Amino acid sequence: MKHIALLAAALLPLAGPALSQTAPVQTASWGPGADDAAFSRMLAASFKDKGIARIDRLTQDETQAFCSDPEAAASPAAAARRERIEAANMATVKWPSDGQWLGDWKQGEAIAQSGRGNTWTDKPDGANGGNCYNCHQISPAEISYGTIGPSLSQYGTLRGRDEETLKAAWAKIYNAKASNACSNMPRAGHMGILGETQIKHLMALLFDPKSPVNASPANTQPGPAK
Ligand code: HEC
């Protein structure tokens, strides 16, 4: 919320004589020195519950609060806090209950390419998409894709399929902040967006040698068929 204070600071000189340098110093209700509690109240008053989209989505957990606060991120204690936050997020990861990492890549592809779900028109028991396509290239055949995250093309081929690699990918999908406190990737398992079976399908998409992710780029070049 501090960036709002900075924006306000930039606007102040335009406000005219009432804010000249000789004006008495007051606690601002907005701008520099404004209290975040007032801003939070204003934010909460701007939204209401509708369907499954509840106002409690505005309540930040410790991870979100830390990552939204530039002063905390710049403080000398930041590195230690990031480590603590990552450990706390890692502790939330639920591993596959039957020890099987991989499901069906075809269903994984459908989940990865869907951003559907969690809006006020969705039903509480409806299955959500993973929204992966919005941030990642998924297969080498794609010519248009999100670039907020790294390409996942060739993931299993390049990374291999040993236990440690599978575990790291599972943890990334379940709770992305377990390995990167302020990751921009949503915490799909931890936030209840995806369930265990859906994560297994996504794992198969990343690791199954037959999945389009691991298709040979040479055979999937865009352009006219040769
Ligand atoms: C809002 C953007 C966003 C979405 C949606 C997203 N990711 Fe990510 N993802 C990222 C970013 C950014 C990174 C790199 C930073 C990090 O590791 O936290 C990343 C990293 C990863 C990695 C680790 C890559 C590596 O180098 O090993 C995997 C695997 C991954 N994402 C899979 C997925 C899957 C599967 C989905 C869908 C369920 C998904 N992501 C959804 C942004 C996103």
What is the residue with the minimal CA distance to atom 14 of ligand 1?
A: 149
Q: Running along the chain, 226 residues long, what does each successive block of 10 average in pLDDT?
A: 44 43 56 71 91 93 93 92 98 98 98 96 93 96 94 97 98 98 98 97 98 84 47
- Say what the pLDDT of residue 8 is: 43
- Ligand 1: nearest atom to the Cα of 132: 37
Q: Domain of 124: which CATH number?
A: 1.10.760.10
Report the C-alpha gap between 112 and 132 in whole angstroms. Answer: 5
- Ligand 1: nearest atom to the Cα of 169: 29
Between helix 105-112 and helix 196-207 the angle, nearest 10°, is 100
Residue 29 falls within a domain, yes or no? no
- Say what the pLDDT of residue 23 is: 53
Residue 107 falls within a domain, yes or no? yes
- Say what the pLDDT of residue 15 is: 41
What is the residue with the minimal CA distance to atom 20 of ligand 1?
A: 149
Residue 53 backbone dihedrals phi, psi, to 5 degrees: -85, 100
Residue 14 falls within a domain, yes or no? no
Of 185, 197, 199, 205, which is best to mutate to test ligand 1, by the most ligand atoms within 8 angstroms of its C-beta?
185
Q: Which residue has the tokens 């794992």?
A: 203
- List, as own/partner pairs, every contact residues 144-152 make where C-beta atoms lie below 8 angstroms and the sequence separation is at least 24, other chains included: 148/184, 149/184, 149/185, 152/206, 152/213
User: Residue 50 carries which side chain, given as an amino acid letter?
Assistant: K
Residue 126 falls within a domain, yes or no? yes
Residue 100 falls within a domain, yes or no? yes
Query: How much distance in Å is there from the Cα of 149 to the middle of ligand 1?
Result: 5
- Say what the pLDDT of residue 54 is: 94
Instruction: Provide the token pair at 102.
Output: 């991989």
- Say what the pLDDT of residue 70 is: 84
- Ligand 1: nearest atom to the Cα of 177: 18
Which range marks the domain in which residue 131 is found?
1-9+49-226
Q: Ligand 1: residues within 6 Å at CB?
A: 112, 130-132, 134-136, 148-150, 152, 169, 172-173, 176, 180, 183-186, 188, 202
Residue 26 falls within a domain, yes or no? no
* Domains held by the chain: number: 1
Residue 98 falls within a domain, yes or no? yes
Question: What is the three-state SS of 144-210?
Answer: CCCCCCCCCCCHHHHHCCCHHHHHHHHHHHHCHHHCCCCCCCCCCCCCCCCCHHHHHHHHHHHHCCC
The reported pTM is: 0.84
Residue 32 falls within a domain, yes or no? no
- Say what the pLDDT of residue 14 is: 43
What is the residue with the minimal CA distance to atom 36 of ligand 1?
A: 132
